[in-house]
Amino acid sequence: MNNLLIEEEDYQGLQASIDGYENFDNIMLAQRLEKHELIEFRRIAAYLYKGNNRWKQSVDLCKKDKLFKDAMCYASESRDTGIAEDLIAWFLENQYHECFAASLFQCYDLLRPDVILELAWRHNIMDFAMPYMIQVVREYISKVDKLEQAENVRSEEEQKAEERPIVFAEPQLMLTAGPSNMMPPPQAPSPQPPYGGPAYPGMGGGVPTYGYSM
């Protein structure tokens, strides 16, 4: 089906076929399409390379056909700083200053501010890079402010902890103590009188006779 669409030069149908079906060799089709005489088919080739994580081939093919928007989108999707910075340097070498400024925001989170500042200064186009640099400075100031606020909060908490008095636990007095669960100590048994001694206080000693004289 893809071969028939290529022969009929139906690039829209080919794009729909690629998005709807996966049972074909993506790389082989991309290699075939990148040499096609129509730019729309070469654009599909770059799209296929992107889908197979061949980001550099995809971006290079877009640069060759001056598909600047696609090149910036694919460089951003690659999440590769090297690819993004190479594309920006290529824009400057070919004096595509507007594309340079647009790519600064398309690939914003991949770029290194010092590299961009150097490139803009070397090519004398600081005006094109200034909006990007202002945004970068603003973000750095916001991050520093958040760190400073967090540090101030931490210092205040530590100072309060140091000023807080230390309270030692005092022993509780017996008068104010609550009821105790302790059992009363056992009482010692009363001593038994010795043999022949008085059984009760006031009674005489000896063995009782019970009416009989001894």
pLDDT digits (tens, 9 = 90+) for 120-137: 999 999 999 999 999 999
The answer on 63 and 143 residing in a single domain is yes
Q: Is the pLDDT of residue 30 over 60?
A: yes
* Position 122 in a domain: yes
* Position 200 in a domain: no
* Position 201 in a domain: no
Half-sphere exposure of 171 (CA within 13 A, CB side): 3
The answer on 65 and 41 residing in a single domain is no
The answer on 70 and 44 residing in a single domain is no
The answer on 93 and 15 residing in a single domain is no
* Position 157 in a domain: no
Predicted local confidence at residue 210, as pLDDT: 47
- Tally of structural domains, the chain: 2
More confident residue, 126 or 206: 126
The answer on 95 and 37 residing in a single domain is no
Cβ atoms of 119 and 89 within 8 Å: the answer is yes
pLDDT tens sequence across 48-100: 999 999 999 999 999 999 999 999 999 999 999 999 999 999 999 999 999 99
The answer on 48 and 63 residing in a single domain is no
Q: Is the pLDDT of residue 179 over 60?
A: no
Q: What integer is the mean pLDDT of 7-27?
A: 90
Least confident of 42-56, 131-145, 153-167, 195-209: 195-209
* Position 68 in a domain: yes
Least confident of 94-98, 162-166, 180-184: 180-184
* Position 34 in a domain: yes
The answer on 23 and 66 residing in a single domain is no
The answer on 69 and 38 residing in a single domain is no
Predicted local confidence at residue 69, as pLDDT: 94
Please give the C-alpha separations between residue 12 and each of 23, 34, 36, 44, in angstroms, as whole numbers: 18, 16, 15, 10
Question: Given pLDDT bands bounded at 50, 70 and 90, which one contains residue 166?
Answer: low
User: What single-letter DSSP state applies at residue 110?
Assistant: G
Q: What is the pTM assigned to this prediction?
A: 0.68
Phi, psi of 208 (to 5 degrees): -65, 140
Structural domain harbouring 9: 1-52
